Amino acid sequence: MNNSKDGLYEKLNTYSDGDMYPFHMPGHKRNMPRIKSAYDYDITEIDGFDNLHHARGILRESMDMAAGFYGTKKTYYLVNGSTCGLLSAISAVTEYGDKIIMARNCHKAVYNAVYLNNLKAAYVYPRPVEDTSILGGIHPKDVEKAIEENPDAKAVVITSPTYEGVVSYVQAIARVVHEKGMLLIVDEAHGAHFSMSGYFPKSALECGADIVIQSVHKTLPSLTQTALLHICGELIDEAKVERYLSIYQSSSPSYVLMSSIDNCVREIIRKGPLGFIDYEGMLTEFREKMNNLTQLKLLDKKILGKAGCYDLDMGKLVIQVKSITYTGQDLYNELLSKYHIQLEMAARDYVIAMTSLNDTKDGFDRLYEALFNIDRDIRIKEGYGQAEGLMHIKPLDEGAVSILEKPAVTCMDIREAINSKKEEVEFSSSSGRIAAEYVYLYPPGVPVIVPGQMIEKVVIDYLLDCKAKGLQVQGQEDDELMNIVVIKENWKEFSYGKNILPDGEKLIGEGYHV
C-alpha cells in the first residue's frame, strides 16, 4: 500500500521535474511548448464551441480537416481512446448474436465488444517469427481459410501494426474480405504516424480497410486518451457508427483532449513530411549503432516475408535479449533504476521502447549508451569470447510463441462463459478446466486466456513463468494468480488406461472428463 502523503498531482510534478527519459507513450514525450493550466481550457458545450455528438460547427470543421488530410470519407475524434472506437466499429457492423472473424492477438476491447454484443468469435492466428518469441502478422491465406469455414461472419477484425510494430498485408486481406462480402476493421492504434512519411509503412487507410481506428496519443504529439475513428468507404452506415460513439463516449467530452487532437493534426499538416526528417535520421543512426552490440539486438526488417510480416514500423524499438540468464524484465528494471530511462513494456526476452518525432537526440544517445554498457556487462558475466567467441542464443521458447499462434480449445462463447455458474480453483492445477475470466499481460492487453477457452498446461506454465519474472499479469480476480475462476462442472478424476469412459462422456482435458 502506498503511504505517501503526496497525491497524484504532486507525484506527477515530481516525475515531470525529474531526469527520467520517456521511451513510452504518449507521443508528445512531455516535449511541448508550455501552456497555461488545463483548468484554463476546461469548458463544456458552451456557445461557439460545438458538440462532439452533434458536430455542426468548429468541431465538425476540425474533423473534416482531419478527414481531408488522412484521405478518408469521414473521421471522428475520440476522447475515450481507441477502445471506444473498436467498441463502436464492431457494434455498428454487427447485430446481436452475429459472428465475426478476429485475430487472436486483438486488444481486449475487441473481446469486450464480442461480449457486449453476444457475438460468436472465430479466430485467425498470427504466425510466430522464427528464432524469437514475437508473433508475426496475420496471413491473407489464413484469413481466406477462416472465411471459408465461417461464411456467415459479418466482419473481420485484425490488429496491424502489433504492439511490436509488425504490419500485416492489409491490402491482400481487404481484397479477400471484400470478395466474400464482408467488412474489414483494422485496429491501427499504434500506426497513426504511418501516413506522415514514406519512412514508415503504408497505413491501412490506403489499403482498403473499411474502418480504421488510430490512437494519436501513442505515436503523435497528443494527450493520452485521444484517438481517431476513420470511415474509409461506402459500405459503412455512418449513422450507426455515430450512434454507438455516443454510447461508448462520455456525453461530456473534454475540450482539453479535443483541442489536443485538433492541434496535433494541424501541426502535422503544417510540418508535412519534412517535419519527420530529424526523427528518421535519429532512428537510422540509433539502429546502425545497435549493430555493434552482441547480446541486445533490435528487431529489424529481416523478418519481412516470414510469418505474415509484410512490413515493420522502424519507430518501434523492440530490443531482444539474447542472453541465457538476463531477461527482458531485467533490462527494463536496470534501465529504469540505474539509467533513469522509462521504457514502454517488458516481455520475457525483449523490451519495447516507444519513439516519436518529439524524441530528442539526447534521449537516443542516453538509451544507446545505457544499452552499450549493459551489453558489455552481460558479455563479461556470461564469459563471452572464452570459448568460440559466439553470442549466447537463448533457445526458442515454444511456450511463449505457441499460446497465441496455435488454436485454443474453445468450449463456449465468451458471454455464455462469463454468465455461467462459476467456481475458483487453484491455477497451477487448472489444466483442462474452462476459463470464466480473462488473463492477459499488460501491456499490451492481449488476452492469453479468454472466457470459454479450455486452460492448457503450456499456458499455465507460461503465465506462471511471466509472473515469476515480474511481468504484469492482469484480468483475473486473484491478482497473485494463485487461483482462477472457471466454469462450475461435475468434474471427476480420470486415470489413463484404467477407467473406461461411460457412454456419452468425452475426454476434454488432461486427466479429467465430463
- Write the pLDDT tens digit of every residue in 331-361: 999 999 999 999 999 998 999 999 999 999 9
The residues, any chain, with a CB within 8 Å of residue 435's CB and separated by 6 or more, are 417, 449, 450, 451, 452, 453, 454, 455, 484, 485, 486, 487
Q: How far is 239 from 242, CA to CA, in rounded Å?
A: 5
Strand ranges in 243-394 using DSSP code E only, listed in sequence order: 296-298, 311-312, 316-321, 341-343, 345-346, 350-354
Identify whether the C-beta of residue 109 lies closer than 8 Å to the C-beta of residue 408.
Answer: no
DSSP strands (E only) in 427-503? 439-441, 446-449, 473-474, 483-487, 492-493
In a domain, 10, yes or no: no
- Type of residue at 315: G
- Tell me, yes or no, whether 320 and 343 share the same domain: yes
Pairing of strands 446-449, 512-513: unpaired
Backbone angles phi and psi of 35, in degrees to 5:
-125, 175
What per-residue confidence (pLDDT) applies to 398? 43
Listed as own residue / partner, the contacts of 51-55 with beta carbons closer than 8 Å and 24 or more positions apart are 52/77, 52/79, 52/249, 52/253, 52/258, 53/242, 53/245, 53/246, 53/249, 53/251, 53/253
In percent, how much of the chain has pLDDT > 90? 78
Q: Are 106 and 213 in a shared domain?
A: yes
**Cis peptide, bond prior to residue 444, ω within 30 of zero:** yes
Percentage of the residues of the chain whose pLDDT score is greater than 70 = 90
Average pLDDT, the chain: 90
Alpha helices (H) in 42-80, listed in sequence order: 58-70
Helix (H, G, I), strand (E, B) or coil at 38: helix
How far apart are the C-alpha atoms of 332 and 372, rounded to whole Å? Answer: 14
pLDDT of residue 7: 92
Domain of residue 430, residue span: 408-513
pLDDT of residue 294: 92
> In this structure, are 91 and 222 located in the same domain?
yes
Treating both helix axes as pointing N-terminal to C-terminal, what angle do 328-337 and 361-381 enclose, rounded to 10 degrees? 120
Single out the residue in 254, 272, 290 at which a domain terminates. Answer: 272
Q: How far is CA 253 from the centre of its chain?
A: 24
The whole-angstrom separation of Cα 242 and Cα 75 is 11
Residues 162 and 89 placed together within one structural domain of the fold: yes
Same domain, 245 and 304: no
Are 362 and 493 contained in the same domain?
A: no
Which of 21-25, 218-222, 382-386 shows the lowest per-residue confidence on average (mean pLDDT)?
382-386
Number of C-beta neighbours around residue 151 at 10 A: 10
CA distance 188 to 178: 19
Mean pLDDT computed over 417-433: 94
Decide: 436 and 485 in contact? Cβ < 8 Å.
yes
Q: How many domains does the chain have?
A: 3
Residues 92, 236 contacting (CB under 8 angstroms): yes
Q: What average pLDDT does the segment 134-160 reach?
A: 97
Residue finishing a domain among 366, 381, 396:
381
Strand partners, 316: 354
Strands 227-231 vs 211-214: parallel, antiparallel or unpaired: antiparallel
pTM value > 0.85: yes
CATH of the domain at 433: 3.90.100.10
Both 360 and 450 in a single domain?
Answer: no
Q: Is 14 contained in some domain?
A: no
What are residue 441's DSSP bridge partners?
446, 473
Q: Same domain, yes or no, for 214 and 135?
A: yes
Kindly list the distances between the CA atom of residue 401 and the CA atoms of 105, 343, 458, in Å, as whole numbers in the listed order.
12, 22, 11
Q: Is residue 486 part of a domain?
A: yes
Query: 103, 122 in Cβ contact below 8 A?
Result: no
Q: Residue type for 499, please?
A: N
Please, are residues 454 and 433 in contact by the beta-carbon 8 Å criterion?
A: yes
* Domain annotation covers residue 32: no
With H, G, I as helix, E, B as strand and everything else as coil, classify residue 300: coil
Neighbours of 405 (CB within 10 A): 18
pLDDT reported for residue 4? 62
Residue 344 included in any domain = yes
CATH number where 331 lies: 3.90.1150.150
| 508 lies in some domain | yes
Give the domain CATH number at 265.
Answer: 3.40.640.10
C-alpha cell at 331: 533490462
498, pLDDT greater than 50: no
- Minimum mean pLDDT range among 61-75, 77-91, 304-318, 387-401: 387-401
- Which strand (E) or helix (H) includes residue 211? strand 211-214
- Which cell is 276 given? 519527420
* 15 within some domain: no
Residues 78 and 106 reside in one and the same domain: yes
Distance of CA 108 to the CA centre of its chain: 9
State the SS3 of 242-272: HHHHHHHCCCCCCHHHHHHHHHHHHHHHHHC
Give the pLDDT mean for 441-455: 88
* pLDDT top residue among 263 and 380: 263
Within this chain, do residues 117 and 262 fall inside the same structural domain, yes or no?
A: yes
Last residue of a domain, one of 272, 293, 315: 272
Clarify whether residues 228 and 339 are in a common domain. no
Q: What confidence tier does 400 reach under pLDDT thresholds 50, 70, 90?
A: very low
**In-domain check, residue 19:** no
Predicted pLDDT at 435: 95
Say whether both 129 and 186 belong to one domain: yes
